[in-house]
Structure formats: C-alpha cells, structure tokens
C-alpha cells in the first residue's frame, strides 16, 4: 500500500466508525481461506462488515471517534467487524467463534462503552432488531385477534344451537 491508499483506507474506516454503533475487534489467527470466506459470508448475511486492518491504520482511523477505547485491543493479527444492528454482528461473530477455535472475539465498543469478550457474548444473546419488531407486531395483533374471537363466539354458539334443533326436528319427523 502506498501513502495515498493508506490515507484513503484510514478515511474510509473513520467514516464507517462515525456511522456505526458497534465495532468488534477479533483475532482471526490461522484461519484458512475457506474459513475466512465462510466468516465473511456469515457477516454479510447478518448485515455486517468484516475487515482485516493493519493495527496502525485502524488506530489512526479510531482517533477522534467514539471508539477510541478500542486502541489497546489492536495488538497482533486483528480484524474489525461492524454493523448498524449491533446484535446482528455480535451474534455472527460469537456463533463463528463457537464453531472455530482459531477465531477469537477480543472485545468491542458499543458507542463509547467498551465491552470485553463476555460483554459481546451477552450482547449476542439479545434478540435482534428484526426479532424485536416481529414480537412487537405480534403483541399488537394479539388483542385484535382475541376481540375477533370473542365477537365470533356467540354467533358460532347460536349456529350450533340452531343446527341441533334442526337435527332434532329431522329425527322426530323420521
């Protein structure tokens, strides 16, 4: 990388850090190409981005952002993961780390709040934004469904009584 490419990389990372709410620092030591491809595919499916970055360039990009507390984690081979949905990226990283011993979640930051590996794991156990939306819609629809059921029940009972009387009348006529 020459200097202009490095400047562009630092600028792009800094703009990403300005827009996102969660950054996770990982250590992908010894991943094969197939494993790294699988990890990137999982991250993309979760709506997250995953980037291996030189520690010096990443720390330059962190300066002046809310994620400056991540600088001590940038030692050795590291990679960064981020997403607009903080739970989605945490779930993807923790699930991949469970399946692969070579991939380690070092920590991260949720806004200006620094998180260690156990904090990222706790965040991954929360329901995602889509799951929360689905639960909210379900909670809103439940009362309407119950009201419709209560309103239809008397009509159903009347129909069953009328049906019973008609069967009784048919049986007496026969």
Position 19 pLDDT exceeds 70: yes
For 78-95, write each residue's pLDDT tens digit.
Answer: 899 998 888 888 888 999
Helix, coil or strand: residue 104: strand
For 128-169, write each residue's pLDDT tens digit.
Answer: 777 778 887 877 777 766 666 666 667 667 677 777 777 877
Gyration radius from the chain CA atoms: 28
For 65, phi and psi rounded to 5 degrees? -105, 175
For 138, phi and psi rounded to 5 degrees? -60, -40
Residue 147, pLDDT score: 65
Residue 112 makes CB contacts below 8 A (sequence gap 6+) with 66, 67, 69
CA angle 6, 113, 51 (to 5 degrees): 30
31-40 average pLDDT score: 90
The span from the CA of 32 to the CA of 102, in Å, is 10
Crossing angle of the two packed helices 117-124 and 86-99, in degrees rounded to 10: 110
Confidence class for position 62, pLDDT limits 50, 70, 90 = confident
Whether this model's pTM surpasses 0.75 = no
Q: What percent of the chain has pLDDT over 70?
A: 90
Confidence class for position 41, pLDDT limits 50, 70, 90 = very high
Instruction: Measure CA 88 to chain center.
Output: 1
Position 34 pLDDT exceeds 80: yes
Structure tokens at 4: 């202009």
């Amino acid at each position: 990388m020459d200097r202009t490419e490095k400047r562009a990389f630092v600028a792009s990372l800094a703009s990403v850090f300005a827009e996102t709410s969660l950054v996770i620092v990982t250590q992908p030591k010894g991943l094969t190409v197939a494993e790294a491809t699988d990890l990137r595919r999982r991250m993309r499916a979760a709506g997250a981005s995953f980037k291996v970055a030189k520690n010096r360039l990443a720390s330059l990009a962190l300066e002046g952002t809310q994620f400056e507390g991540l600088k001590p984690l940038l030692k050795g081979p590291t990679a960064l993961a981020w997403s607009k949905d903080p739970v989605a990226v945490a779930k993807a990283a923790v699930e991949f780390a469970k399946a692969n011993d070579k991939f380690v979640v070092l920590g991260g930051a949720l806004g200006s709040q620094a998180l260690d590996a156990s904090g990222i794991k706790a965040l991954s156990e929360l329901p995602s934004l889509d799951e929360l939306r689905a639960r909210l819609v379900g909670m809103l629809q439940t009362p309407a469904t119950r009201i419709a059921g209560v309103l239809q029940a008397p009509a159903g009972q009347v129909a069953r009584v009328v049906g019973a009387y008609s069967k009784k009348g048919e049986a007496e006529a026969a």
